[in-house]
Amino acid sequence: MSDELVREFYSGQVRQEWRRLVKNAYHKLELDTTLHYLERYLPARGLVLDAGGGPGRYTLELAKRGYEVKLLDATQANLDFARRMVRRYGLQRQVKEIALGSIVDLSRYAEGTFEAVVCTGGPLSHILDPLQRRQAINELLRVAKPEAPLFVSVMSRLAVLRVILIESQVEVGMPHFKLLRDQGDYLGERGFTACHFYLPEELQLEFTRPGVKILELVGLEGISSSHIKELNQLAKDAQRYPAWLETHYQTCTHPAVVGTSEHMLVVCRKSLV
């Protein structure tokens, strides 16, 4: 049922999701910080899986950088939009596949297919069943080659609780609020779709397993998280904003910052064994 809710939600949000990461400086911080760590850990070339890649924002960014990319998403409307964007930017040679599917089942790909695996923007968060989330992680690891980096970002429980305090206090104490607070699960009752919001230690535990080395835990919005107006205002200051970005990159991996950022990124590497 949650899968259907997620597909229905994103089918009606294709253009909004495409624009989300570039509509202002605050939202672009998530994109730029993710790309910062992709550029740090990606191999120089190779085939990359963009798993749960939505309308293809990261697929295009990777293709522009010379990578061969396969995009997989569970929402057909996202894929149709991505195909148009690939054609518009002339990246058909780089984008090798645009496929309908779930990150829970990547059986269309053989073990060790990809030089890197990207699962950003929160696809893992949209799986409510913890066993299925673990299966999705198993699949993302399985299709990666030995020594390949994996990049997975999720939505933060602490950050969404803060957003409720700031923007929607009427929800405090409601049954869905208590479920979100205590278990991280939101069933899609009020405006957003079904989602599991992670604690930072929970995300770390998901990837603490044999054959995986965690390289980074990152708060993508960092200490700017939830300060949309203030960050957008500062971004207009050409002198001070670079200093703030420097501060962001110096602090976005601090444990106190990771857990309170709206989106958290884990970067890990599949080992040879």
pTM over 0.85: yes
End-to-end CA distance of the chain: 37
The single-letter code of the amino acid at 2 is: S
Model pLDDT, residue 190: 77
**Rama region for 191: left / alpha / beta (φ>0; ψ in -120 to 50; rest):** left
CA angle 31, 24, 230 (to 5 degrees): 105
AA identity, residue 180: L
Decide: 188 and 9 in contact? Cβ < 8 Å.
Answer: yes
Cα 78 to Cα 105: distance, rounded to the nearest angstrom: 18
CA distance 199 to 203: 6
The answer to whether 248 and 223 have CB atoms below 8 angstroms apart is yes
CA distance 128 to 44: 35
Query: Do 144 and 117 meet the contact criterion of CB atoms below 8 Å apart?
Result: yes
* Per-residue pLDDT tens over the stretch 48-60: 999 999 999 999 9
pLDDT exceeds cutoff 80 at 2: no
Please tell me the predicted confidence (pLDDT) of residue 140: 98
Q: What percent of the chain has pLDDT over 90?
A: 92
| Structure confidence by residue, pLDDT tens digits, 188-225 | 877 789 999 999 999 999 999 999 999 999 999 999 99
Asked if the model's pLDDT at residue 165 lies above 70, the reply is yes
Which of 86-95, 141-150, 160-169, 244-253 is the least confident region?
Answer: 160-169
Strands (E), 55-196: 68-73, 95-100, 116-119, 149-155, 185-186, 195-196
% of residues, the chain, pLDDT over 70: 99
Other beta carbons within 10 angstroms of residue 28's beta carbon come to 16
Task: Give the confidence band of 273 by pLDDT, cuts at 50, 70, 90.
Answer: low
Say if strands 116-119 and 95-100 run parallel, antiparallel, or are unpaired.
unpaired
Cross-strand partners of 51: 72
Indicate if the pLDDT at residue 5 is higher than 90: no
In the structure, what pLDDT confidence band is assigned to residue 272 with cuts at 50, 70 and 90?
confident
Domains located in the chain, CATH noted: 2-270 (3.40.50.150)
